[in-house]
Amino acid sequence: MCCRYLLVWLSALLGLSACSLPGARTQAIQYFVLEAQTPVSPVAAAKAESPRPVLLLRDAEASVFTQNPRLIFSRTPATRAYYQYALWTESPPKRLHTLLRQRLLASGLYGGVVPLGAGVQGDYQLNFRVLEFFHNAAQTPGLAQVRLDAELVERGSARLVAQQSFAADVPLASQDAAAAAAGLGQASSQILDAMLVWLARVQPNSVDMPQAR
Amino acid sequence: MESDARYAWVGFAVVTLMVVLAAGFYWLNGSTEQDVNRYTVYFKNQSLEGLQLNSDVRMQGIKVGKVEDYIILPGQAKTVRVTLEVDARTPIWEGVEAVVTRNLVTGLAAIDLDNVWKGGSDIGPPPEGELYPVIDEGVPQMTRISNTLETLGKASIEAVERMNHLLSDQNQQAINSVLVNVAGLSGELRGELRQIGPELKATLGATRQAALRLDTVGAELTPVLRDSARLVRDGGKWVEHAGQRFDRMANETEATLNTARVTLSRMDGSLRDIQTQLKLSVDLGMQDIQTTAQSMRASSDTLLTTSQEYADPVRLLYGPHKAELGPGEE
């Protein structure tokens, strides 16, 4: 009962203090979906008689700053800041993981592409980390810059098959959050395409089941 | 005239506010005691770490009450009596169980009520000597899992012990000695056959020669010759019997060796299967560990970011500074 009285008084005090708060925001918060265009010429997997390998896709690694769902921009080199009223519907590393998985499945390079920890034993594992994912606004209207590292590992022997860095810079149409979101989507699309081409080059098309597993 | 009217409005507003405040207090006073039921739980097996007065009491994840009181029973160091205050609209059935659940991050505990189906009748009046109806202590999910794991671990240890026993030095020596004995027996048989064979052959040859010589002696010695021929036939039969027995023994030895070879082959296959299963389990376990570690890292990063954002209350109240606005933001 004592707590309830205290609650009533606190509510009254809060009501009075509300007079000192500023008014509503002048700008609405926008939520953007990171969309990557489908590849113009999809990678065609060579038909192999023996079974195709199963790929385990590990969650993307990223810095704490990049994991935040807010859009990132930079006006001066070596600095980063968040857009205050623009957010992703899903943090970029998670969204890139989903988009990459969709593309890998559609490419037919693998017999299956499943997230790591799904209870499936895979032949290969793809790890990748998002190094940069921001709107470089040093110049008007600026660039959408994406940097990414990836490595392909053969799980049976824990051997590093190949590793590669990817980068894409896309000029923006205007200097605002909507253009930045669209540009980052295009840059992501370019990088995902490049990853597929790289995997098609370094990945064995078939797998000898007893040895690899 | 105008100032009189303003004073009247101010007075009216103050009086109205006081009436509303008084009505609020009356409502708070009047709506407490009648809408709740109290229950008692005796916890003997679960830790109540993190449980506080006014901690949540939940059913199906919904808060339905709070912890009103708890006390360690005097003379029973491991029994805690907890009094729960539960919304009267909440169905509390006979057989309901209470378990303590704990938030892994904050460490705060709550009590979950689980209505176990035993006909769906109400819990009924308090038992004799109790002030409130008594709710049974349940078994937490984590305890069930740990019990299962413990059982699994014991079974695994037993299996490994049995395997160790099966492959113990003593058994290995015994299997080795059996194989050595079987090999020795077959070798001896082969040796015996090798030794006796020529002798038998020589004996047979000599007997045949003797028969031939006896045959040449002539008709006058026919009765003697008949006896000798019988002797040769009997000797041949004896040799034939001995050969058949040795053949049988050799066949049996070979069958024993084949059986031993099949058994060893099966053991090898089983061990290979166990090895494959172990490899698979380890691989899937490692995947789980990797993803769990990554999730924990991500959670701690998120907590860090959130705490950093809440470290600046001015920003939370008044919004971002103009210099923090992004391109195109106002």
pLDDT digits (tens, 9 = 90+) for B178-215: 778 877 777 777 777 677 777 767 767 776 786 576 56
Q: Are B97 and B136 in contact (CB under 8 A)?
A: yes
- For position A211, what pLDDT does the model report? 38
Lowest mean pLDDT among A38-42, B58-62, B251-255, B270-274: A38-42
Q: Highest mean pLDDT: which of A130-134, B75-79, B182-186, B270-274? A: A130-134
Taking the CA atoms of A146, A149, A154 and A158 in sequence, report the sign of the dihedral they define: negative
Q: What is the pLDDT of residues B34-65, one digit of tens each?
A: 589 999 999 998 888 899 999 999 999 999 99
Residue range A83-92: mean pLDDT, rounded = 95
Mean of per-residue pLDDT scores for chain B: 81
pLDDT at B45: 87
Q: How far apart are CA A53 and CA A114, in angstroms?
A: 12
Give contacts of B287 with chain A, Cβ < 8 Å. 56, 116-119
More confident residue, B21 or B2: B21
Residues 6+ apart with CB under 8 A from B158: none
pLDDT at A58 over 50: yes
Q: Match 């009047």 to its residue by tokens.
A: B30
**Contact residues, chain B, for A5 at CB < 8 Å:** 25, 28
Q: What is the extent of the structural domain holding A82?
A: 52-212
What is the rounded distance in angstroms from the CA atom of residue B186 to the CA atom of residue B178? Answer: 12
Q: How confident is the model at residue A151 (pLDDT cuts 50, 70, 90)?
A: very high
Residues 257-276 of B with CB under 8 A from A: none
What pLDDT does B70 receive?
92
Identity of the amino acid at A16:
L
Q: What value of ipTM does the predicted structure carry?
A: 0.71
Q: Of A163, A212, A208, A166, which is closest to residue A187 (Cα–Cα)? A: A166
Mean pLDDT calculated for residue range B74-86: 88
For the segment B272-296, the average pLDDT, to the nearest whole number, is 83
| pLDDT tens per residue across span A197-208 | 999 999 876 554
CATH number at residue A99: 3.40.50.10610
Question: Can you state the angle between helices B169-216 and B222-310, rounded to 10 degrees?
Answer: 160
- Of residues A11 and B272, which shows the higher confidence score? B272
Do the chains contact at B328 and A177, CB–CB below 8 Å? yes
Mean pLDDT of A82-107: 94
The Cα of A166 is separated from the nearest Cα of chain B by a number of Å equal to: 23
Angstrom CA distances, A65 to A91, B115, B306, stand at: 10, 45, 11
Establish if A4 belongs to a structural domain.
no
Cβ atoms of A186 and A35 within 8 Å: the answer is no
Helices (H), B141-221: 141-166, 169-216
pLDDT of residue A174: 95
Residues of B within 8 A of A175 (CB-CB) are 327-328
Tens of pLDDT along B214-242? 567 555 555 654 665 565 567 667 767 77
pLDDT higher at A3 or A188: A188
Higher pLDDT, A100 or B323: A100
* A181 interaction partners in chain B (CB closer than 8 Å): none
pLDDT at A42: 56
For B87-136, how does the pLDDT look when each residue is reduced to its tens digit (9 = 90+)?
Answer: 999 999 988 999 998 888 888 999 999 988 888 888 889 998 899 999 99
Contacts of B291 (CB under 8 A, 6+ apart): A59, A115, A116, A117
- Reported as a pLDDT band with limits 50, 70 and 90, residue A49 is low
Total residues found in chain B within this entry: 330
Q: How many secondary structure helices (H) and strands (E) does chain B include?
A: 5, 7
Give me the long-range contacts of B200-205 (CB less than 8 A, separation at least 24).
Answer: B200/B239, B200/B242, B200/B243, B203/B235, B203/B239, B204/B235, B204/B236, B204/B239
Name the closest residue on chain A to residue B54, using Cα atoms: A3
Gap between the Cα atoms of B6 and B11, Å rounded: 9
More confident residue, A192 or B296: A192
Contact pairs from chain A to chain B, CB under 8 Å = 89
Q: What is the mean pLDDT of residues A121-149?
A: 95
User: Touching check for B314 and chain A: CB below 8 Å?
Assistant: no
Decide if B329 and A5 are in contact by the 8 Å CB cutoff: no
Beta carbons of B305 and A59 less than 8 Å apart: no
Residue indicated by tokens 């002696």: B217
Min distance B23 CA to chain A CA atoms (Å) = 12
Q: Is the pLDDT of residue B162 over 60?
A: yes
Distance from the A183 Cα atom to the nearest Cα atom in chain B, whole angstroms: 14
Q: Provide mean pLDDT across the span A86-108.
A: 94
DSSP count for chain A of H helices, then E strands? 5, 9
* pLDDT score recorded for residue A212: 37
- CB-nearest to A121 from B283, B288, B325 is B283
Angle at which helices A92-107 and A177-202 cross, to 10°: 40
Contacts of B330 (CB under 8 A, 6+ apart): A26, A27
Give the chain A residue nearest B303 (alpha carbons). A64
Q: Residue A116: list chain B partners with CB under 8 A.
A: 287, 290-291
Q: What is the pLDDT of residue A116?
A: 92
The whole-angstrom distance between A42's CA and the closest CA on chain B is 30
Task: Please tell me if residue B313 touches chain A, with a CB cutoff of 8 Å.
Answer: no
Name chain A contacts of B330, Cβ cutoff 8 Å. Answer: 26-27
**Which among B288, B301, B324 has the least Cβ separation from residue A81?**
B324
Chain B positions in Cβ-Cβ contact with residue A177 (cut-off 8 Å): 326-329
Ramachandran angles phi, psi of A77, nearest 5°: -60, 150
Between A35-44, A69-78, A79-88, A103-112, the lowest mean confidence (pLDDT) is in A35-44
Per-residue pLDDT at A7 exceeds 80:
no
> What is the number of structural domains in chain A?
1
